[in-house]
């Protein structure tokens, strides 16, 4: 039986042909495909301005810079996320402040945000773990009351919604990733939805060396920018993926329903939040029973031809963050979930029978 990875992108033959066309065109860096991809994304987000980047990490860093966040400022985020979320706060010279998760949603707990506020707090960076949107109503109530910017790390939630509207169509800065594991991929890439008070031309300068081109062919550089532009090769993949996003999400929903039906409750797994309305079902992540040896579980599943991922250990316990003073016990809910969480196979091209195969393997492994 072939190996079943925990995720795999679905790239259609038309998309592959589109990429070949770009390669044959002689123009592979940012150009017409990027413009078309940005326009298609903007349409999807109800007309809001969107700029494409070469990673979701770059979009987050640029969003913080556009929001004017820097040394002396505190940004409140979750400790249960991909480390990029907190790394970009350090990258702009600001201070990450963590608020523990709500174990029911695994997203940042709004009540704990209130407790973490200080006069230096400048922004909130919520994350939609596994594609389940963090509570936008409560986040924006806090942000408005305390005059904070919000940089939504929606890297995992493209295709998810809040009150029936797509994530990205409302809010302040909204950042997406198109990494190979995300629900929509460009290989690597990202996109930033801009609020009305940000000039998209300024965002473009931060994206590419701060360069401002003049009509006569000359140029000026008036701000320090990075090297974060998306290629036309990547944008062509995105243009092939975007029209299929709803189909991908629907397929994920069916597969997740099957997981809920087939996992035996007697095995003692804690199942993920059950949301078929707002979430884009980016990952299906049960928690192993308390005290389980996760490494042994992953190895035993691998022996049975099944890939299992870990997304994520609580990031404040990484060495870099321990050096900043964080320690065991600081955020007990994130630590508990971070120790027990496993990502089971979930991607649109999975067959129904794959769910049975995964569930049978889990049963075999856990009942030994
Ligand atoms: C994937 C991801 C990122 C970073 O995106 P890249 O495209 O890999 O740079 C940031 N935050 C979260 C929550 C992610 O899942």
CA of 199 to the centre of ligand 1 (A): 24
CA of 36 to the centre of ligand 1 (A): 23
Atom of ligand 1 nearest to the CA of 311: 15
Split at pLDDT 50, 70, 90, the class of 1 is: confident
Q: Is the pLDDT of residue 41 over 90?
A: yes
CA of 201 to the centre of ligand 1 (A): 24
Query: Nearest residue CA, atom 5 of ligand 1?
Result: 56
- What share of the chain in percent tops pLDDT 90? 99
CATH of 245-367, picked from 3.90.1150.10, 3.20.20.100, 3.40.718.10, 3.30.420.40, is 3.90.1150.10
The stretch 294-308 carries a mean pLDDT of 98
Best mutation site among 84, 134, 191, 237 for ligand 1, i.e. most ligand atoms within 8 A of its Cβ?
84
Torsion on CA atoms 328, 330, 334, 339, rounded to nearest 10: 10
What is the distance between the terminal CA atoms of the chain, rounded to a whole angstrom?
22
Q: Is the pLDDT of residue 287 over 80?
A: yes
Torsion on CA atoms 130, 136, 140, 143, rounded to nearest 10: -20
Q: Is the pLDDT of residue 368 over 90?
A: no
Residues 79 and 101: beta-carbon distance below 8 Å: yes
Q: What is the pLDDT of residue 110?
A: 97
Q: Where are the domains of the chain?
A: 13-243, 245-367
Best mutation site among 56, 58, 283, 338 for ligand 1, i.e. most ligand atoms within 8 A of its Cβ?
56
Q: Is the pLDDT of residue 336 over 80?
A: yes
Q: How far apart are CA 91 and CA 83, in angstroms?
A: 12
Atom of ligand 1 nearest to the CA of 60: 10
User: Which 3 state secondary structure label does DSSP give 324?
Assistant: coil
Q: Is the pLDDT of residue 234 over 90?
A: yes
Q: Is the pLDDT of residue 304 over 90?
A: yes
Q: How far apart are CA 117 and CA 113, in angstroms?
A: 6
Q: What is the pLDDT of residue 195?
A: 98
Q: How far apart are CA 152 and CA 130, in angstroms?
A: 14
Atom of ligand 1 nearest to the CA of 177: 7
| Owner of token pair 């249960």 | 80
Q: Which of 182, 227, 302, 327 is catalytic?
A: 182
Q: Which residues contact 324 (CB under 8 A, 6 or more apart)?
A: none
Q: How far apart are CA 350 and CA 121, in angstroms?
A: 44
| Domains 13-243 and 245-367 are alike in CATH topology | no
CA torsion sign, 64 to 70 to 72 to 78? positive
Residues 92 and 70: beta-carbon distance below 8 Å: yes
Atom of ligand 1 nearest to the CA of 81: 13
Bridge-based pairing state of the strands 149-153 and 95-98:
unpaired
Residues 343 and 284: beta-carbon distance below 8 Å: yes
92 secondary structure, DSSP code: T
CA of 179 to the centre of ligand 1 (A): 7
Q: 182 an active-site residue?
A: yes
How far from the centroid of its chain's Cα atoms is residue 299's Cα? Answer: 26
| Owner of token pair 């990029």 | 84
CATH architecture, domain defined by 13-243: 3-Layer(aba) Sandwich (3.40)
CA of 188 to the centre of ligand 1 (A): 10
Q: What is the pLDDT of residue 57?
A: 98
Q: What is the pLDDT of residue 273?
A: 97
| Owner of token pair 């773990």 | 129
Q: What is the pLDDT of residue 322?
A: 98
The stretch 307-315 carries a mean pLDDT of 98
Residues 248 and 16: beta-carbon distance below 8 Å: no
Q: What is the pLDDT of residue 178?
A: 98
The string of pLDDT tens digits covering residues 252-280 is 999 999 999 999 989 999 999 999 999 99
Angle at 113 between CA 107 and CA 114, to 5 degrees: 145
Angle at 223 between CA 222 and CA 227, to 5 degrees: 120
Q: Is the pLDDT of residue 34 over 80?
A: yes
Q: What is the pLDDT of residue 50?
A: 98
Bridge-based pairing state of the strands 211-213 and 219-221:
antiparallel
The stretch 300-307 carries a mean pLDDT of 98
Q: From residue 14, how far is each of 169, 185, 241, 248, 266 by CA, in Å? A: 28, 15, 10, 16, 45
CA torsion sign, 274 to 276 to 278 to 284? positive
The string of pLDDT tens digits covering residues 53-82 is 999 999 999 999 999 999 999 999 999 999
Q: What is the mean pLDDT of the chain?
A: 97
Q: What is the pLDDT of residue 29?
A: 97
Q: Is the peptide bond before 312 cis (omega within 30 degrees of 0)?
A: yes
Best mutation site among 90, 152, 156, 186 for ligand 1, i.e. most ligand atoms within 8 A of its Cβ?
156
Ligand 1 environment, Cβ below 6 A: 55-57, 81-82, 84-85, 127, 153, 155-156, 177, 179, 190
The string of pLDDT tens digits covering residues 125-166 is 999 999 999 999 999 999 999 999 999 999 999 999 999 999
């Amino acid at each position: 039986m072939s190996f079943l990875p925990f995720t795999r992108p679905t790239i259609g033959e038309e998309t592959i042909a589109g990429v070949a066309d770009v390669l044959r065109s002689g123009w592979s860096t940012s150009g017409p495909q990027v413009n078309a991809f940005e326009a298609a994304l903007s349409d999807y987000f109800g007309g809001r301005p969107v700029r494409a980047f070469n990673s979701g990490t770059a979009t987050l860093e640029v969003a913080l810079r556009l929001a004017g966040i820097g040394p002396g400022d505190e940004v409140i985020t979750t400790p249960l996320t991909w480390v990029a979320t907190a790394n970009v706060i350090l990258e702009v010279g600001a201070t990450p402040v963590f608020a523990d998760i709500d174990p029911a949603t695994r997203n940042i707990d709004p009540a704990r945000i209130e407790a973490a506020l200080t006069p230096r707090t400048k922004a909130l960076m919520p994350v939609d773990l596994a594609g389940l949107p963090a509570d936008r109503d409560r986040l924006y109530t806090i942000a408005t009351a305390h005059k904070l910017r919000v940089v939504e790390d929606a890297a995992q939630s493209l295709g998810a919604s809040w009150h029936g509207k797509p994530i990205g169509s409302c809010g302040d800065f909204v950042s997406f990733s198109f990494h190979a594991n995300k629900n929509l991929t460009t290989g690597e890439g990202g996109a930033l939805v801009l609020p009305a008070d940000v000039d998209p031309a300024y965002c473009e300068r931060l994206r590419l060396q701060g360069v401002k081109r003049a009509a006569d062919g000359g140029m000026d550089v008036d701000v320090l920018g990075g090297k974060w532009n998306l290629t036309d090769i990547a944008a062509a993949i995105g243009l092939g993926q975007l029209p299929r996003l709803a189909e991908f999400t629907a397929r994920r929903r069916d597969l997740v329903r099957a997981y809920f039906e087939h996992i035996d409750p007697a095995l003692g797994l804690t199942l993920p939040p059950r949301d078929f309305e707002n979430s884009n079902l980016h990952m299906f992540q049960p928690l192993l029973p308390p005290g389980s040896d996760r490494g042994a579980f992953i190895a035993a599943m691998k022996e049975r031809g099944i890939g299992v991922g870990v997304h994520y250990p609580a990031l404040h316990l990484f060495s870099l963050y321990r050096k900043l003073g964080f320690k065991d016990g600081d955020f007990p809910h994130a630590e508990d979930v971070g120790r027990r969480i496993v990502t089971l196979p979930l991607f649109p091209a999975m067959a129904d029978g794959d769910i049975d195969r995964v569930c049978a393997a889990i049963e075999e492994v856990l009942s030994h």
